[in-house]
């Protein structure tokens, strides 16, 4: 169905924003984590969004252009963590410095807000598409 | 039947199809509001093109691509603007669906001679 294809695009937006929310939550939760399986402090993560052609184009001209979004990969911060002098810390090095994640709480919270707003925008699209489908169904009555 | 309603029914159909296609373009913009280097899509309805092509609805609209954005990530989408445009677009679709539904009710009344 044609209106279903539009819902598909909005759904992709919901999934992508949820992924963004999840990485921000992970970054916030691990803002003080000094120990990871990979060794060293936690490195902040960021989803990489990429456009993706809609599999089943419903319009000859728009079909070639219509794009949904998907998370192509999750980028891990390559910068080393912040060094803080804390000799009593169990993960402190010999000279008393401990490596802390390079996570900015303000930046992550901004991400959470922005992701939430984008999620809502995609929800509005879904609701409107459903209303359009309902209006179209009224024609036959 | 066309003598009573003119070209109202095919015209409404063409417009509704255009509104639906445009909804797809705006949904694509909102979904990609945070995708780097995404250029916004829009669909314009071309009356002259529509007339020149007869009643071929797929030829009556044209897909346009906006410029690269000025944001650091090269994205040219204003999410709020897209949502407003999308709500208005859906409203226009619903208005036309209502008119079309009324026309069919009127046709039924004319055919059966009964009210409603």
> Looking at beta carbons, which residues of chain A come within 8 Å of B86?
124-125, 128
Contact B21 A139 (CB under 8 A): no
* pLDDT tens-place string over residues A78-106: 888 889 898 888 888 889 899 999 999 99
Strand partners, B43: B63
Nearest Cβ partner for A62 among B36, B43, B98: B43
Choose from B12, B26, B31 for mutation: most chain A CBs within 10 A. B31
Contact B103, B5 (CB under 8 A): yes
Burial of B52 per CB tally in 10 Å (0-12, 13-18, 19+): exposed
> Looking at beta carbons, which residues of chain B come within 8 Å of A59?
21, 24, 58
A108-112, A131-135, B23-27, B51-55: lowest mean pLDDT where?
Answer: B51-55
Stretch A68-82: mean pLDDT = 89
Q: How many CB atoms lie within 10 A of CB A89?
A: 15
- Written as six digits, the tokens of B11 are 């015209």
Domain interval for residue A116: 3-137
Q: How many CB atoms lie within 10 A of CB A101?
A: 20
Q: How far apart are CA A114 and CA A85, in angstroms?
A: 34
* pLDDT tens-place string over residues B92-108: 999 999 999 998 888 88
* pLDDT tens-place string over residues B38-67: 888 888 877 655 665 555 555 566 777 777
pTM for this one?
0.80
Contact B30 A60 (CB under 8 A): no
> Looking at beta carbons, which residues of chain B come within 8 Å of A50?
35
* pLDDT tens-place string over residues A4-23: 788 888 999 999 999 999 99
Q: How far apart are CA A92 and CA A99, in angstroms?
A: 8
Q: Find the helix packing angle between B79-112 and A105-138, rounded to 10°.
A: 10
Choose from A135, A137, A140 for mutation: most chain B CBs within 10 A. A135
Query: How many domains does chain A contain in total?
Result: 1
CA distances to A19, A57, A74, A135, B17 from A2, rounded to whole Å, are 27, 9, 32, 14, 10
Stretch A66-77: mean pLDDT = 89
* Whole-number pLDDT of residue A17: 94
In percent, how much of chain A has pLDDT > 70?
Answer: 90
* Whole-number pLDDT of residue B54: 58
Nearest Cβ partner for B35 among A5, A69, A121: A69
Question: Rounded mean pLDDT of chain B?
Answer: 81
């Amino acid at each position: 169905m044609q209106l279903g294809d539009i819902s598909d695009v909005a759904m992709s937006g919901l999934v992508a924003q949820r992924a963004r929310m999840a990485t921000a939550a992970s970054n916030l939760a691990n803002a003080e984590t000094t120990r990871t399986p990979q060794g060293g402090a936690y490195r902040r993560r960021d989803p990489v969004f990429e456009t993706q052609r809609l599999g089943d184009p419903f319009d000859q001209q728009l079909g070639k252009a219509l794009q949904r979004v998907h998370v192509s990969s999750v980028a891990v911060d390559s910068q080393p963590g912040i060094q803080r002098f804390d000799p009593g810390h169990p993960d402190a090095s010999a000279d008393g410095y401990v490596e802390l994640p390079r996570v900015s709480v303000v930046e992550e919270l901004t991400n959470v807000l922005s992701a939430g707003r984008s999620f809502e925008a995609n929800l509005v699209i879904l609701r409107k598409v459903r209303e359009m489908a309902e209006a179209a169904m009224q024609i036959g009555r | 039947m066309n003598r009573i309603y003119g070209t109202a029914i095919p015209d409404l159909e063409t417009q509704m199809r255009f509104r639906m296609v445009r909804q797809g373009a705006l949904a694509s913009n909102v979904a990609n509001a945070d995708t780097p280097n995404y250029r916004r899509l829009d669909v314009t309805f071309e009356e002259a093109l529509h007339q020149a092509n007869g009643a071929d609805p797929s030829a009556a609209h044209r897909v346009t691509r906006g410029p690269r954005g000025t944001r650091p990530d090269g994205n040219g989408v204003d999410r709020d603007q897209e949502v407003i445009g999308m709500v208005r677009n859906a409203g226009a679709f619903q208005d036309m669906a209502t008119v079309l539904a009324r026309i069919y009710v009127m046709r039924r009344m004319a055919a059966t001679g009964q009210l409603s």
